Amino acid sequence: MPNHECWDANYYKEYWAAWDVPIHFWHFSKATIKLIFKKHQFRIIKKKPMIFDSYYVSLLSEEFMTGNKNFVKGLIIGLISNLFGVFTKKGHSSMIYVFEKEK
C-alpha cells in the first residue's frame, strides 16, 4: 500500500508516482488503516516496508516532475526516503500489512 505520509511523497508532492490514479483512488495513513480494519474485527499482525519500491517510485516521480530520466537523483531520493522510513515515524514509500481476524 502506498504511504502518502512518507518522505518521497512530501518531496515530490503532486508528482509523486504512487498517487497512481486511477489505480489508487484512496490513500490511507497507518492510523486510518488500523481503524478501518479494527472496525471489522481485524488486527495487524505484521508490517513490512517495500524497500525497493521507494527507488522505483522516486525514479518515476523524478521523470514526472522534470521530464527527464534522472536515474542518479531518483536513486538518491529513494535512499533518503528509506532512511527517513527507518529513522522516523513517517514510514516507507510503500508498506505491506498483514491482518488477522480477531477471535
Provide mean pLDDT across the span 20-40. Answer: 84
**Looking at the predicted structure, is the pLDDT value of residue 14 above 90?**
yes
> Do 94 and 3 contact (CB within 8 A), yes or no?
yes
Task: With beta carbons less than 8 A apart as the criterion, state whether 53 and 93 touch.
Answer: yes
At 21 the pLDDT is: 73
CB within 8 Å of 93: residues ≥ 6 apart: 2, 3, 6, 8, 9, 18, 50, 53, 54, 57, 58, 78, 81, 82, 85
pLDDT at 25 > cutoff 80: no
Cell of 93: 514509500
Cα gap 29→46, rounded to integer Å? 16
pLDDT at 22 > cutoff 80: no
Percent residues over pLDDT 90 in the chain: 71
pLDDT category at 8 given cuts 50, 70, 90 is very high
